[in-house]
Each structure stands twice: as C-alpha cells, then as structure tokens.
Structure 1
Amino acid sequence: MSVSPARACGIDFGTSNSTVGWLRPEAGALIPLEDGKVTLPSAVFFNADEDTTCFGRAALAEYLDGYEGRLMRALKSLLGSSLIDGSTEVLGRQLSYRELLRQFIGELKTRAEGFAGRRFEAAVLGRPVHFVDDDEDADRRAQDTLGEIARSVGFTEIAFQFEPIAAAFHYEQDLAREELVLIVDIGGGTADFSIVRLSPERAKRVERREDLLANAGVHIGGTDFDRALSLAEVMPLLGMNSQKKSGIEIPSAPFFRLATWHLINFSYTRAAWNELQEIYRDAAERDKLDRLLNTVSQRDGHWLALQVEQAKIGLSGQECVSLELDRIARAPLAHTIDRAAMDAALAPLTTRVRDTVAQTLAGAGVPASRIDTVFFTGGSSGISLLRKQIAELLPDARAVEGDLFGSIGAGLAVEAARRFG
C-alpha cells in the first residue's frame, strides 16, 4: 500500500454517529469532523428562529437550548423503509427524505475535504449486513439509494463494504499472528457479525473473499434498545398501559411514536394532537396523560429520548440511574432505573442478537472453541447483558474492545486505500 495519502476515503454513515476515514502517513485514520472530534452525531436541526441548518453536536445543542425548529436524528433508519420516498414539512416547506440524507452526507464530505485540503471523488461506504431483514429486494434498494445519494454530492467512484468486515480490517492492523475472529458490530440501527481469518500476511492482500467464513445480521441496534427501555420504564409514567374510564386500555400508538427516534416528529402533527385530545378526554389517569400532552406540546420528544439513551449508557457501567423528568411533569419527578429492570426490558432483543451470533457460527461451520477472539465495536456493543450472552456462547474466546465509534470508519479507510489507491 502506498505511503502517500490515499486518494479515497471511507464513510461510515451511522444511525447515531458518523465518521470519515482517510489513510495518510503517520496520522490517525479518522478525520476530525466537529470541534476536533472524529465523530459527527447523525443529527440535523433546522433552526426556525435563525433560519439556519446545523449538524451533529451543534444540532443537538441548539435543540436542547430551546430554539424553535425541527430536529431530525437516526437518519440512516430511513434507508430501507417506506419513508425514504416521502417528505416532511420543515420550516414551512416540504423536504424529501432523500434530500435530508443528501444534506447530511454532503456535510460529511465537505467537512472531510476541508480538513484534508483536497477533494474526495472516490469512497468506500459502509453498509450493514442487512439494511432490511429477510427482504433481498428491499435491501438492494437501500444500498442503491445510498449510492445514488453519494453520487449526488460528488462521489464518482463508489464501493461498499460490510461494516463488520471494515472493523475486522481495522483490528487486523495490530495483529502479530493469525486469528479466527468474530466481529460483533452493534450500532444504532443494526447488529452485524462476521467470522474472519485475520493475520499480518493476509492484510497485504487486496482480495479477501476466502478469509470471510460467515456474515449475518439483524435489524436491532441502539435505537431499538432505547425504544424498549423507554416503553418499559418511561412511557408508563406518561400513561402507557393505563385505562380509559370504561376500563379499556388506552391506545399505545402515541407512546410508540415518542419512543422511536425516527418517528418522534410524527408526534407533532395535527392528526396526532387530535388523537391525544381524544385519548385524554376518556383517560382514567389524567395526571399521567398531562405529562404526555406536556411532552408533545413542548416538542420535548427528542429531549426525553436523549434522557433514556443516557440512562441506557449509564447502566452499562453502573447498577442504577435516576432520570430527572421535571421538564415534562412541570413538577418534581424523578424515576430510578436499575440494571435488572433494563435487562428485563432488553432481554427479548439481546436474545435475538445472541441467536444471530449462533447462526453466524453455524454458517461458518466452525465450533465455538475455534474462535480465538471476539472483537466488539459499535456504540451499543457495551451493553452488559449482551456481552454476557455472547460470552456464554464463546466461553474460550478472549474479548477485545475496539474503538466503539471509530473502528468501522478506520477500517473503511483501509479498504478505500486498497481499492482506489
């Protein structure tokens, strides 16, 4: 591989965070994208007060500071969904979801080029093993859509690589001997797995097809964990599972919208507000429904989702966390969540992830005892229950934690240099 800077970059467009990788001599693989940080949260805020658009941490900050406007997050979730061909109203005009993705990916390209001091016309884009579970046509359309958007912002040469394979290439850079490695990549939207033979000698090859023993994935990630935790622990505080005066349970749709990152903005439509008013009239526990109406009328859905996300992250390292929810209660309201409660909420999802790992092993045709290393990457791979379940499947393998947010982008940079020079 050339010691001069690569002419191509690698782009990890993630559900929660995005990175851009670029190989050059004596430098880290990842390009700083915002305030010296190599990650750019995959968020866009359309500021109505100042008629501006901002991205990443700045987008989240302006939203939390109370500016009037529209926050969009979990943008990658649009790929493979029926929403991708639709549009939404932003600052009084219709914005297509394709244009929304074009703006964000274009911003990644612009920031990377600004740092590099050169244009990037070639790129390797990361992709999950499955954009869409059990639907090859929809999965292909999702990749095609991402490719079309990348071309529309100025990339003329495009290749794709599975995200866990990219993470494997990053891990391989530091290996001293051959290993059989299970890559566990659990990001914001998907859980992806690959079993790969890696070694210093194999790293020199451009074609690595024979080194890949198995690939598998399931459409479960951090935003799904957030939703499950919110539905189990937070939405009941807003009236979920409570009853109408007739004794019938109130509809659950408003709570599912508020608990799902890419659906939160649908809570603010006129139809959704009318639905809430009708639910409120018949509710037996109006004090809880008051919190729901406060959340929607104040457009605090993303704020609430951020509190749940931070609780999930906190419970990966401590036994309990306290959520301070005065903002939506308009009165003191604290709610404590412990590790056991989170485990119970996430167990159906982590069990599906574990089962997919087992399928990956079966697909590779190797016993668990043959796996030398489990390499964890992706911001949601640190969940303790998930790690415990994988460790039970592979008790003899050593666990290695990569850069949870940067391994894929760095590996895509390696792939970009191999493919395009």
Structure 2
Amino acid sequence: MKNASAARALGIDFGTSNSTVGWLRPGVDSLLELEDGKITLPSVVFFNMDERRPVYGRLALHEYLEGYEGRLMRSLKSLLGSKLIKHDTSVLGVALPFKDLLGLFIGELKKRAEAVADRPFDEVVLGRPVHFVDDDPVADQEAEDTLVEVALKIGFKQVSFQYEPIAAAFDYESTIEREELVLIVDIGGGTSDFSLVRLAPERRDREDRENDILATGGVHVGGTDFDKQLSLQGVMPLFGYGSRMKNQAYMPTSHHLSLATWHTINSVYAQKTVLALKNMRYDIQDTAGIDRLFKLIDQRAGHWLAMEVEETKIQLTHTDTRHLALDRIEAGLSVDLSRALFESAIAPLLEKVRASVRELLVNAGVLETEVDTVFFTGGSSAIPALRNSVAAMLPNARHVEGNRFGSIGSGLAIEAKKRYG
C-alpha cells in the first residue's frame, strides 16, 4: 500500500505571518513544500480584481506589489477571538464572511498538502496559541470553536489541537540525547507562547505526556505588534501622527493605529475615513503630515508601507540602522530607522513577555536557575533585544535555536501521528 507507514493525519501550523503543514513519514523531512519549493506559505490572500480570483502566499504579495487592482488580506489569524470574525468584508464587490476568508486560506493549505502528498487527509492536529485572547476564556474558546467550524467545513472529519509551544517542544525532543528541563519560547506573528517541559529520549513515545508539561503560558504580543510600534514611533510621524491641533490637543490617533495594524489597513481607505480626515485638516496646525497621509490613501499604499516596516524590523536584527526610502509617497521622502529606536518602541512589549515567563516559572514551581535549555522558535524570536531579555532571566540555561518557521509544524506532525496513527 502506498505510504503505508506514513501518518494518516496532518499537522497544520496556521500562523499570523506564515503557515506550515507537517506530515510524518519515515526517513523524510516532515514539512511539506507549499510554494516554490519552500515549506512556508505566507498567510496572505490577495483578491485579484482584474482576474476575479484569490491568490495566496508569495504570489499574492507579488501581484499586489506589481500593482494589480484588488484587495490584500494579511494577518488572518488575528481575526480569531476578535469581534470582526462575526462580520463580513467586501471582496470583489461581494460580502464575504471573515470565517469564509479563513476557510479559503486553510483550505488552500489542505489542498496544497494533499497535492504534494498525492492523497487526501481527513484528520488534522491544528496548532493554537496558549491564549488566542488574553484574560478572556469565553473569547478564547470562541476562537478555537471557529477554527473547528472552519476545518470541518473545508473537509476535515476529525479536528484536534495542540499548544504551539508544546508542539515545538516535541520537535526539539526528537534531537536530544539526555533529559532536559526546557523553556520553549515561541514568538510568532501574533502571540508569544511559552511552555516549560521535561524532555528526554526515553519519553518520546509515551502516549500521555501530561506530567512532563510543567506549565504553559502566553501573552498576545507578537511580530505584528513589534511592527506596529516601529511604525508608530518611526514612520507615522511623517504622516501626521503626533501632530498638534489648533487647540493644542494631539491629532486623533485612530487612523494611524489602523494603518500600522495589518488587518485594519483597508479601513483607512473607506470614504467615511477620508471625509473625517478632510474635516480634521482644517484644525491642524501643520498640515504637511496629513497631506502625505492623503497621498498614501490615494495610492492605496498602506500594505506596501507595512511591508517596508516589517522588512526594516527584520534588517534591524543584524544591522544598526536602515534607510527607508518613501519616494513612492512623495519625492525625496525618507527616514532612517535605528535598532535603538526599535528597541525603545518595543520595550513595554518585552516587559509583558518577561512578566509572562516569570508567571510561568512561578506556576511550575521552578527556579530561574533550574532551567537547562531555552529553545527559541517563531519568526520574531530572532529579535536581539527579545532574546537577550529572556535569556538574562535564566542564567544557567543554554540557548538553542530551532527552525524559526518550521519547529511547530514538525511537532504537530509528530502529535498527529500519535493521535491518529
């Protein structure tokens, strides 16, 4: 029988920024290639107006940047647990429920995985953050229920979940040779998730790992939040953020906040937003910034700007400054963004991360000196200030870097094999 010893089920890491799919087979890397030979599919949908079709991943970003008319949707996972998930959005002139938007993307993951595997899949283990929503168990459960509903609608018959940092722990466990007390630090696009787990080669095949998981925790802080703060502190002042009104009050910030947040960028283009800004312009002391904002809106350049901010964040993990040219908006417009500015902008977020780690250790009854290993995964775990701030809390721990974009998907594949055979 074809692939007789392969797993029956998939593990899907539906991420805020990137997604992966794992399928466990003997002697083969578990992560499936989803686009152009790559294991990641950026969690992006572009509704191409010219050709009346949705496109996904890198191709979606390419068509958007090439100037095709249409609607770009990113950070789809951020819809889970939000009020937006119960509403519709306008796509290609038609009202599309946000749940169906999630179904389109997760359905595409299933379709691509089945094409690569050359077989259908009925069972899936989905990764989930420890908290979709902080301090709101009802909204958190609704987010998980929404994912179940979406997964069943696109054709899965059995759906279960594993915490993303636990999945990353199982991936790391497949590589170790002795017992370790490991703090998993998973910094994704939307959340920071942690687990404190006792791992060992002889524990790998156990069905019940509940006693090995000492604590889990997390906070709704991730890469898109870091992007947002960099945008607000470094870029949005060029577009009127922080401007003074004639009565000395600051210009309202809601439009800049929407522009700095991936899943709300499109709202800035709405006619009522433009009218509100035009009315506001008469009361602003210096109109240079708001006039640039109008240019950005006219060009529908919000997603382009957000991508430039994100790329700056990535560059600042290994350089001290990045020169950001904004000629697309206005000839000669540019700004130099520094790592120091970025680290200052995200300092309050890093404190939230540290507080979550401290709470995790207290809940587990483990001293900071007792942790053997810190395992970093997730795209935003590369940020030096974040790594250093967490590492400084655990003086005796060695630092291990997993596959930043693949550890969770690999761990979910291991879990899928255990659960479904």
- For normalisation by structure 1, the TM-score amounts to 0.98
The alignment status of 1:400 with 2:420, answered yes or no, reads: no
Deviations 1:284-304 (A, max 9, x none): 222221211111111111100
Deviations 1:129-179 (A, max 9, x none): 000101111111110110110010111011100000000000000110000
Deviation at 1:3, TM superposition (A): 8.0
The residue type equivalent to 1:182 in the other structure is L
Give the Cα–Cα distance (whole angstroms) in 2 for the partners of residues 284 and 415 of structure 1: 59
Q: Which residue of 2 aligns with 1:369?
A: 369
The residue type equivalent to 2:378 in the other structure is G
State the secondary structure of the residue aligned to 1:159.
strand
The alignment status of 1:288 with 2:289, answered yes or no, reads: yes
Q: For the Cα contact (< 8 Å) 1:354–1:386, is it kept in 2? A: no
Q: For the Cα contact (< 8 Å) 1:178–1:200, is it kept in 2? A: yes
Give the Cα–Cα distance (whole angstroms) in 1 for the partners of residues 219 and 247 of structure 2: 40
The residue type equivalent to 1:212 in the other structure is I
Q: Which residue of 1 aligns with 2:83?
A: 82
The residue type equivalent to 1:386 in the other structure is L
Deviation at 1:333, TM superposition (A): 1.5
Give the Cα–Cα distance (whole angstroms) in 1 for the partners of residues 321 and 106 of structure 2: 37
75-84 vs 237-246, which moves further: 237-246
Deviations 1:79-130 (A, max 9, x none): 0000000011111111110010010000000000000000010010000000
Give the Cα–Cα distance (whole angstroms) in 1 for the partners of residues 32 and 298 of structure 2: 39
State the secondary structure of the residue aligned to 1:192.
strand
Deviation at 1:251, TM superposition (A): 1.1
The alignment status of 1:244 with 2:245, answered yes or no, reads: yes
45-54 vs 174-183, which moves further: 45-54
Deviations 1:293-334 (A, max 9, x none): 1111111111000011011111111111111111112x1122
Give the Cα–Cα distance (whole angstroms) in 2 for the partners of residues 398 and 293 of structure 1: 50
Give the Cα–Cα distance (whole angstroms) in 1 for the partners of residues 391 and 35 of structure 2: 36
Give the Cα–Cα distance (whole angstroms) in 2 for the partners of residues 203 and 125 of structure 1: 20
The residue type equivalent to 1:278 in the other structure is N
Deviations 1:319-350 (A, max 9, x none): 11111111112x11221111111110000001
Deviations 1:355-386 (A, max 9, x none): 11111111110111111100000001111111
The residue type equivalent to 2:48 in the other structure is N
**In the superposition, relative to structure 1, how do residues 3 and 206 fare at CA in structure 2: closer, same or farther (>3 Å)?**
farther
Q: Which residue of 1 aligns with 2:387?
A: 387
Q: For the Cα contact (< 8 Å) 1:43–1:73, is it kept in 2? A: yes
Q: Which residue of 2 aligns with 1:324?
A: 325
Deviations 1:211-234 (A, max 9, x none): 000000100000111111111110
Deviations 1:213-263 (A, max 9, x none): 000010000011111111111000111111123333211111000001111
Give the Cα–Cα distance (whole angstroms) in 2 for the partners of residues 22 and 279 of structure 1: 54
Q: Which residue of 2 aligns with 1:343?
A: 343
Deviation at 1:275, TM superposition (A): 1.2
> Which contiguous aligned blocks of 4+ residues in structure 1 show a shift greater than 3 angstroms?
none
State the secondary structure of the residue aligned to 2:204.
helix
Give the Cα–Cα distance (whole angstroms) in 2 for the partners of residues 3 and 207 of structure 1: 25
Give the Cα–Cα distance (whole angstroms) in 2 for the partners of residues 226 and 251 of structure 1: 20
Give the Cα–Cα distance (whole angstroms) in 1 for the partners of residues 249 and 351 of structure 2: 32
Q: Which residue of 1 aligns with 2:18?
A: 17
- For normalisation by structure 2, the TM-score amounts to 0.98
Q: Which residue of 2 aligns with 1:95?
A: 96
Give the Cα–Cα distance (whole angstroms) in 2 for the partners of residues 396 and 65 of structure 1: 50
Give the Cα–Cα distance (whole angstroms) in 1 for the partners of residues 247 and 220 of structure 2: 38
Give the Cα–Cα distance (whole angstroms) in 1 for the partners of residues 49 and 282 of structure 2: 32
Give the Cα–Cα distance (whole angstroms) in 2 for the partners of residues 157 and 249 of structure 1: 52
Q: Which residue of 2 aligns with 1:255?
A: 256
120-129 vs 48-57, which moves further: 48-57
Say what the alpha-carbon RMSD is for the aligned residues.
Answer: 1.0
The residue type equivalent to 1:41 in the other structure is P
Give the Cα–Cα distance (whole angstroms) in 2 for the partners of residues 179 and 15 of structure 1: 30
Give the Cα–Cα distance (whole angstroms) in 2 for the partners of residues 320 and 7 of structure 1: 48
The residue type equivalent to 1:335 in the other structure is V
Q: Which residue of 2 aligns with 1:72?
A: 73
The residue type equivalent to 1:146 in the other structure is L
Give the Cα–Cα distance (whole angstroms) in 2 for the partners of residues 362 and 68 of structure 1: 52
Q: Which residue of 1 aligns with 2:137?
A: 136
Q: Which residue of 2 aligns with 1:60?
A: 61
Percent of residue pairs identical: 57
State the secondary structure of the residue aligned to 2:382.
coil
Q: For the Cα contact (< 8 Å) 1:187–1:381, is it kept in 2? A: yes
Give the Cα–Cα distance (whole angstroms) in 1 for the partners of residues 113 and 364 of structure 2: 37
**In the superposition, relative to structure 1, how do residues 404 and 3 fare at CA in structure 2: closer, same or farther (>3 Å)?**
farther
Q: For the Cα contact (< 8 Å) 1:3–1:25, is it kept in 2? A: no
